[in-house]
Amino acid sequence: MKNTLNLRFNKLFFGALCLLIIITIAGTVGEYRNLAQFIRPLYIPVFLIFFFVAKKTIKVPLILCLLYFFLGDVSSMFINDYIFVKTSSIMYFLSYLCLIGFIAPKFKLEGFNKFIAFYLVAVVLINIYFLYTICSILKTIMPDSLEVFLFGIKSISLIVLLFITFGVYLNSENRVSILFLLMALSFIFSNFLNYVSQYYVYHWSFSMLDKVFHIIGLYYLFTYIYGYNKLVAHRTQAHRDENVSANNVLA
């Protein structure tokens, strides 16, 4: 029965992903190219509808993250208004901070050997160097220094998120940690393509891939929430069974 429900959830959610991607691509390459921009605020509500149809729940720590994502998507509709563009960046930055705050307690340094720890630090330093180089270039392109700053803190938060998520994956190597890692990578690609198309060279393919990776990132986030809830429920039940067995032995 549980396998049937899981299969039903996977089909529903994959269907929601395909639906949003098809509409986004059609709205980007078709006659109504601005349509994809107005569809973006629907990403979170559509996933939530499919999520609740499958009778799943969301833990409180991630509700705030989804709220910031939704506000960021709404603000990103107004790409010609600098205030809304900055608001969108701030909302996404806050959502990334929520994800970092959620996953950080699962990061355990004692589980790494020295080689892996050195590798992770080296990767972070290389990414920070490239980020510094990109910010130096953006200073000559962006008219507002605040936008460069927002790009910087958003990118740093994503680098930190990827670093922690990759560390958690190396420690656990389970399906749930893989989903969170794929989510982080999707948001990084989306963020990069967004700034390339917005400030460097605009092409409809960059804009389309930005939105597609954003949708995929949200898909992995909701799938992670589902898997995380199952994992917590399983551990809680196992703990209860251990207590019952211990009580029976004492009796």
**Residue range 95-112, pLDDT digits in tens:** 999 999 888 888 876 656
Number of independent structural domains in the chain: 1
Whether 242 is in a domain gets the answer no
Residue 64 burial by Cβ neighbours in a 10 Å radius (0-12, 13-18, 19+): middle
Residue 243 within any structural domain of the chain: no
The answer to whether residue 150 scores a pLDDT higher than 60 is yes
Which of the pair, 26 or 115, is modelled with greater confidence? 26
**pLDDT at residue 183 in the model:** 92
Return d(Cα 57, Cα 126) in angstroms, integer: 39
Region 210-234: mean pLDDT is 85
pLDDT digits (tens, 9 = 90+) for 156-213: 888 889 888 888 887 776 788 888 888 998 998 888 888 777 777 777 778 888 888 9
pTM, full prediction: 0.82
Residue 95 confidence (pLDDT): 93
Taking the C-alpha atoms of residue 71 and residue 91, their distance in angstroms, rounded to an integer, is 6
Indicate whether 229 belongs to any domain.
Answer: yes
Query: Does the pLDDT at position 80 exceed 90?
Result: no
Mean pLDDT, rounded, for 43-60? 75
- By residue range, what is the domain housing residue 16? 2-233
